[in-house]
Chains A and B, each alone.
Chain A
Amino acid sequence: MTQLPGLLDTDAIRKDFPLLDRTVHDGKKVVYLDNAATSQKPNQVLDALNDYYVRHNANVHRGVHVLAEEATALYEGARDKVAAFVNAPSRDEVIFTKNASESLNLVANMLGWADEPYRVDDRTEIVITEMEHHSNIVPWQLLAQRTGAKLKWFGLTDDGRLDLSNIDEIITERTKVVSFVLVSNILGTVNPVETIVRRAQEVGALVVVDASQAAPHMTVDVQALQADFVAFTGHKMCGPTGIGVLWGRQELLEDLPPFLGGGEMIETVSMHSSTYAPAPHKFEAGTPPIAQAVGLGAAVDYLTAIGMDRIAAHEHAITEYAVRRLQEVPSLRIIGPDTAEDRGAAISFALGDIHPHDVGQVLDEQGIAVRVGHHCARPVCLRYGIPATTRASFYLYSTPAEVDALVEGLEHVRNFFG
């Protein structure tokens, strides 16, 4: 058994995740290396979901009966947990959405309908990067099309980093908002937040950080980031699907207009007009994903008990090992940084000219689950002249033995198509 410094006690952790014991294809144990797509769920989260429905289920913020009060306390308790998890100055800055895509769409729509000084219009510019997930590209394309604003982006270097050499030309006095990914879901790159934020602040642009691949894996401190908005999703961090988070600075949430209208987000309603509840409720129209928020709260407790810094150290060790072992595979080319420095635990690669679909299929037959395709980041594939990649991504329960299984699996792929 390979021993690496900084590893967590994965024997103990894996006992919390029943799915990791599953076998597929006639008794092969699942080697789950698709964590950047979604994480598995520990018993602590599954129990919280079940307990909520079995004992406390009711709608929130309405009704005076005991169940409604319990459900509300659990839902709002989850908000407290998430606020503490990202070191938010106020719990009212945490908006629950259904996923990170909705969080980013919400920001784009707030800005599209905003008054000055936030308004995005045909005299202003929006800045993103070429390594964004489609969820941080398309909402801004839509906003640009609807407002006439100009969409600009940072390109990528050959080794999978942001090319910031022309930062002063990309982010200018006309820039209203800069939105970028903290950790790339396809390249694994960890981006230099401070450099971008400093320039954005110089020109008075708002900063939106997509932390979907960061919040599950490392400490995300919204105050240290100095961003204006931070988006992430629950299901990649041991929580259920259907729950996402948008953190936003309080004064912005007070000033910016709501996007979705409906129940829950109002103060008073007449047939002519309405006034709105204060944030975060202003941005949470309709019955929210209550059980899912409670599940996310349990996930945050779970991760916090282990410690985000220890999780980051574990993943760094696994990533370092994986990068080294993968480079031993003949004809394998890593797409993205080829060291573990400033890099997350998602590793994309090409294997000779064998198409990723075929790689993934043969790995699946051995019980190894990886993601193949363009990973909702097609511009990255275009940039590097590849149709798709195979991606292995690790988490707190990943082991060196699983890296070894992947490397052996890839040998099998090469023989199969050799």
Chain B
Amino acid sequence: MVKQGLNCALDLNRHGILDKYNVELIGASCDAIDKAEDRELFDNAMTFIGLETPTHGMAHNMEQAHEALEKIGFPCIIRPSFYPGWYRRRHCLQQREKFDEICARGLELSPTTELLIDESLIGWKEFELEVVRDKNDNCIIVCSIENFDAMGVHTGDSITVAPAQTLTDKEYQILRNAAIAVLREIGVETGGSNVQFAVNPADGRLVIIEMNPRVSRSSALASKATGFPIARVAAKLAIGFTLDELRNEITGGVTPTSFEPTIDYVVTKIPRFTFEKFTEANDRITTQMKSVGEVMAIGRTFQESMQKALRGLEVGMCGFDPILESGLSNAKEVLTRELNEPGAQRIWYVGDAFRQDWSVNTIYDLSGIDPWFLVQIEDIINCEKEISQLTLDKFEQDYFLHLKRKGFSDKRISQLLAVTELEVQQARQAMGVRPVFKRVDTCAAEFVSSTAYMYSTYEEECEAQPSERQKIMVLGGGPNRIGQGIEFDYCCVHAALAMREDGFETIMVNCNPETVSTDYNISDRLYFEPLTLEDVIEIAELEKPAGVIVQFGGQTPLNLVKRLEQAGVPVIGTPPDAIDRAEDRERFQQLIEKLNLKQPPNCIVRSVEESIQQANKISYPLVVRPSYVLGGRAMEIVYNEEELKRYMQESVMVSKESPVLLDYFLSSAIEIDVDAVSDGKQVVVGAIMQHIEQAGIHSGDSACSLPPYNLPEEVQNEIRDQVTRLALELGVVGLMNTQLAYQDSEVYVIEVNPRASRTVPFVSKCIGRSLAKVAARCMIGKTLEEQEFTKEIIPNTYAVKEAVFPFNKFPGVDPILGPEMKSTGEVMGVGTTFAEAYAKAQMGAGDVIETSGNAFVSVRDRDKDAVVEVAQRLNSLGYSLVATHGTAKVIEAAGLPVIGVNKVLEGRPHIVDMLKNGEIQVVFNTTEGKQAIADSSTIRRTALRHDVYCTTTIAGALAVCDAVEFGNNMSVYTIQQLHAELH
């Protein structure tokens, strides 16, 4: 996303807009960006300053391929241009005969008959340096980062460690000099940049991989890793300050920013993936970044830091848990593949390989992971073996401390001892083995730090120095993932700010380096720690906060609520029992009945047989999903018994402990999201949002309109009434999100979440009041009356929230929307009409809707009636209609001109051919049922690859018609203007 602003600025410059209004682009120069991003310009620049880049060549035929090989030599990597399905590692070539064969195939596969041939650096070590430069040419290295994963894995997908571990000073200084020389040559006059190097482990040969002439994801990590706020400093440098004029805030301004941070701990970052959401995607990690979030952990040693990161990742692991099924007959093959072609779980496979007594050398040969790291993982696995031979009563204080210093969690120890986590925790605390907290201070304790940015470790001296003030502790959301992203961080940040404004000392706990909540100046005290029970309790027992807020960080802190309460931690806000009442299926049903509300017929099943029986009672279609999930994980809609059986057998492992929920699917309902806030006595609706896509699309993936764009007023009032009653009955103190559906004049309650929701920031921006702040104040006992927030604020403009998807990162994935959430971000568009707001939201999401040409329409049977309206509108907007034969018949019958085209299975020429030939400008395609979805997926995938706008719902199609009709005549407002009109 960093790139979006950059590209926009470059476009403004290219079109002369900046010149026209006499605006200077600061902090980045267009020439520098071109030089860094254009491969040839970059290569030339590097050659000029005597640095090497990987040798490479391009070929359009075999002759050129041989010429390129002459220059590059073996091993080399061959890639067809614009053919993303090609997996790199397999084609790292050593021999000639294979070369010809693969080049021939690559030339055929590339749509531009073009091959890229690169020198192979696979297996080399990868390093990054974060450099900051000011206008006086003062340069500093803020942080060095070493990738745990060898070259071949995108640095965003690599596990990375700071500082660099395996460089002698002589080598490190070569990197340092090179990084600074690169900045100067590329022409980054002020600000931060990131320079990436590959180093041959055999002889130290150094190659520049790339440089980003701007702050990047790595700069965010480097800032959190060192305590040096790169973006903040870069912004000040851009307006003309120099490094020596700025003060290092973390030391209370005692020292200037013109120094190089030095750290006395080890930082580990582990990316978080969501391949489970994109099952058709290639789940190997390569040079195309695929992760959606990351966790960072700080420890005094690599082992401690790594094990803290593993448990902070929240993927159900509490350390080096084994993942290889025991007794697997092809364990060797599985391990070999996982180490050689890494996937998201490679780190645990490394552990498993050591469990199988594989040697460091074998694992190194397969993975390229430096032995320095491997030997420490081997040591951890050896410790695990030792622990599992012991019993808890044999643990002595020294031994406990020895394990904790290696980063073992209580939970992992408990698993190895086959006891409960609580038993381990109690035994440990009884022996006085407790963590201490050290400060992140940029200077390795050389100067006194006035900033309480802390991490836990097992050492002698604790530097936490908790105060005697009244404190409120906010638990953050952990790593970003699909379904739980920065929306929750927004809430945590606002809660902390509100509490600080109200005179409390604020304490933040989080482990996500990409967030604002982990900026050390957002709260009074920042604990950069995993959000696990063990870690949170240790902080709570030290700080003794008056209240702990758990409802803003998404599911992560909520999962801890019960056990935190049991441990005597004062959780404030909505009581945990209310959360349970909303989440527990049966209790929720009782609640709905008690309030005389409606929910779709539903039931809970614990076996395949039971599901079929119950489904017949409820009737199809059904929404099926495992209980207790967020983000619609593994949720599907089934239309008949056959599909239900398949789902129950293949998609989920149903059992007594993990039952499955069946809901009657309201197939033509309008979905509604409501955020409300309550002080326990009064409830104020934050906003009612109407989804644009109909029911069946996950609410996080659906666009929505605030206020509703065609929901009758009396229905809205009914919804307000229902939400208010729900909140009061549950005893909500703070936020509550309710999802409802409206079908056939009935309002149904789908789901109630007594916590912050994904839409809180959107609502807050629309209504000009921070719901999170209001809610936080409710939790500390301030009434809504006292806060002067007693009435719903309904904007007189429309705002549309649209989801943003990562489909183009996952070649082969069907970009169809469904009940499982897949979006990774969102945008908002504002307009005086719904059409304007929707059009702006589409633009913001980066989607271009062609306003003329051929519109392809193909809909499922259920939508055949509704498609006529779409066709009429498209026709009157001037599109020519193209439709599959079934849909064409319906359109023809309505008296509209339409051209029929074959489905892929009906033979060529078919719709995919038309898309490839650029003959289709927009795609409207609705489908249902597993088989039909699979059959039509090439249409959507091709549209995606060729940047053709594609919508997969009728409601979406109609909204698109609105947007096209509205055209380009957009107005621009500041959000301050809009807010001023509201108050």
Please determine whether chains A and B interact with each other in the same assembly: no
Interface of A toward B, CB cutoff 8 Å: none
